[in-house]
A = this chain, B = another copy of it.
């Protein structure tokens, strides 16, 4: 039928190779990350370019640059690779759990990704309510790092996630709104601002001596004067020591220390907590969780 369709497979391995090179922009480092030698890597990427009939990288003796097509493959390919590893992971998980008779429904074990420490009370209620359901599956709670739930959902490490608009993007997922809450400023209890009944974003965004902390993103930090932090405990301690201030959703009151003070912010955007899941999901257990969540 199609004469042009000879051997244009885009194998997973090649895709992984290209993505690594595209991220590192350096064949040697990429090969190291992949646990292989550099020459086979170069050849594999060349072969990929031949197969696609497209130049992906501009090698100019001094590092590597992405072409337009390379940029396209970097984005599209990452999504494709995530989908592939997600398929493998979910299939593995579904493996031990075939129903007693017939083809059997999808697995009876769900992984729920939650930003560590966030929406604690809501999560508690959700888990309790779901556990009370007659055919409840086991739910494994997977604490995720800062805004990492999206990747976990995309590559199959999780089946569902609690996401927080506007911090997380919900594009590509189905979701159900669960809760809306305001935000608070978390201040050192002894700070003058802690005595105020309410604050505006302007009040806290530029307090002398209290710069906003900078969160680690994949090991690097955004520029700025604030302290560098990796997790919530570090942040909490720095606040308690009077070194920084933070803006959090209302539900963060659950983990405040004695040395902390919480003051409502009048003009902060409201935070909406959603339950999100892959758009095409067909799991029975997931459907039950969604039903429970919407009934809260």
Contact = CB atoms under 8 A, between A and B. Distances in A.
A106 B8 CA distance: 21
A28 interface: no
Given A171-B279, A171-B280, A76 B90 contact: yes
Interface string A77-115: 101100111111011101111110001111100000000
Interface residues of A, number: 55
B10 A54 contact: no
A230 interface: no
A91 B72 contact: yes
A87 B86 CA distance: 16
A124 interface: no
Q: How many copies does the complex hold?
A: 2
Contacts of A104: 67-68, 71
A11 interface: yes
A97 B68 CA distance: 7
A9 B11 CA distance: 10
A175 to B, nearest CB: 10
B53 A95 contact: yes
Interface of A: 8-13, 15-16, 52-56, 65-73, 75-77, 79-80, 83-88, 90-92, 94-99, 103-107, 156, 171-174, 279-280, 282
